[in-house]
Amino acid sequence: MEFQHVNVKVLLDHASAVDLEPLIPVFHNWIQSQSRDELLLDVADYRHVRAGPGVVLIGLEGNYSVDNAGNRLGVRYNRKAPLGGSNLDRLQQAARAALGACREFECDPRLSGQLRFDGRKVEISVNDRLLAPNRAETRDALEPDLSAFLQKLFARGEYSLAFNEDPRSLFSVAVESAKSYSAGSLLRNLASQT
């Protein structure tokens, strides 16, 4: 089974009190400097929607956002364009994009350290119901790639999985690591050769 359009969302700390307005100029600057490897196009502001997509940086190949879906604030990368390689490659690409964005937010003085990775929680979904319907077969098919990916991400540390059971939802899983990490250390784990 080929999984495309992977989404990774890294959850943020102390999320309820975060004001997303300062994020808007940050995203505009990203467009200005075209600071990612993808074409960045526009900013969509959905702060007015409860438990919504928050502020979204629309790209051609993928969107970046700080979204509050499920009332869980997190940095999301939503891969839109098809990507070559294996499922593992695509999981890693989306995770690198989300974590990389998160790390930039952590360091951006305009955001005053308000957007910080909570250290443990990551959500993964596949944004295509035909390629990845939310049922047991998809879970079984993705299991080897998912565990290889999570082993690498958490450097073989322990983690727990909670799959979304609503058949109408995208295939999605919430992952919680037993140990706390920084966004930077997860990025390093992904970059390591082992």
Partner 1 sequence: MKVSNGLWKEQLAGKMPEGLAREIDIFEAEINLRKLGKLEERVFAEKRLRRGVYGQRYDNGQRHDGAKVQEMPYPRRNLTKGPNTLWDAPGMQRIKIPGGGLNASQLETLAELAEEYSDGIAHITTRQDVQLHYVHIEDTPALMRRLAAAHITTREACGNSVRNVTTCPYAGVCPDEVFDVTPYCMALSKFLLGHPDTQNFGRKFKPAFSGCSQHACALANMHDLGLIAVTRTEDGKEARGFATFVGGGLGAVPYQAKLLEPFVPPEEVLPLSQAIARVYARLGEKKNRSRARIKFLIHDLGIEKFRELVLEERKQLEFDPRWKEYVADAESYHEEPLKPGRKLDRSGSEAFRRWLETNVRQQRQEGYAVATVTLPLGDITASQLRSLADVVRRFTKETVRTTVEQNFVIRWVSEDDLPELYEALEAAGLGAPGAGTIVDVVACPGTDTCKLGISSSRGLAAELRKQLIEKSYQMEEAVKNLHIKISGCFNSCGQHHVADLGFYGVSRKIGGYSLPHFQVVLGGEWANNADHYGLAVAAVPSRNIPEVVTRLTGFYAANRKNGEPFREFFRRIGKAEVKKLLEDLARPPADEAGRAAFKDWGDPRDYTLGDMGVGECAGEVISSTDFDLAAAERQLFEAQIAWEDGEVEGAAKTAYQSMLSAAKALVVTECPEAPDDPDQIVREFRSRFYDSQKFFDPYAGGKFAQYLFSAHQKAGASYTVDSARYLIDEARLFIDASHNYSTRTAAMTAR
Question: Which residues here bind partner 1, judged by CB under 8 A?
Answer: 2, 4-5, 24-25, 28-29, 31-32, 34, 39, 41-42, 44-53, 56, 58, 60, 63, 67, 69-70, 80-82, 127-131, 166, 168-170
Taking the complex as a whole, the smallest distance from the CB of residue 158 to partner 1 amounts, in Å, to 30
Taking the complex as a whole, the smallest distance from the CB of residue 179 to partner 1 amounts, in Å, to 30
Kindly tell me which of 69 and 155 has the beta carbon lying closer to partner 1.
69
Taking the complex as a whole, the smallest distance from the CB of residue 176 to partner 1 amounts, in Å, to 21
Kindly tell me which of 72 and 96 has the beta carbon lying closer to partner 1.
72
Contact 156, 137 (CB under 8 A): no
Kindly tell me which of 50 and 193 has the beta carbon lying closer to partner 1.
50
Taking the complex as a whole, the smallest distance from the CB of residue 131 to partner 1 amounts, in Å, to 5
Kindly tell me which of 48 and 158 has the beta carbon lying closer to partner 1.
48
Among candidate residues 91, 93, 63, the one with its CA nearest the CA of residue 76: 63
**Cα angle at 119 between 113 and 123, to 5 degrees?**
105
Kindly tell me which of 24 and 155 has the beta carbon lying closer to partner 1.
24
Kindly tell me which of 39 and 107 has the beta carbon lying closer to partner 1.
39
Max CA distance (Å), the chain = 45
Taking the complex as a whole, the smallest distance from the CB of residue 129 to partner 1 amounts, in Å, to 6
Among candidate residues 152, 137, 164, 154, the one with its CA nearest the CA of residue 3: 137
The phi, psi pair for 7, rounded to 5°, reads: -115, 135
Q: Residue 5 — left, alpha, or beta (φ > 0 → left; ψ -120 to 50 → alpha)?
A: left
Taking the complex as a whole, the smallest distance from the CB of residue 98 to partner 1 amounts, in Å, to 16
Q: Residue 71 — left, alpha, or beta (φ > 0 → left; ψ -120 to 50 → alpha)?
A: left
Edge-first strand listing for the sheet containing 62-67: 40-46, 54-59, 62-67, 74-79, 6-12, 117-126, 171-177, 159-163
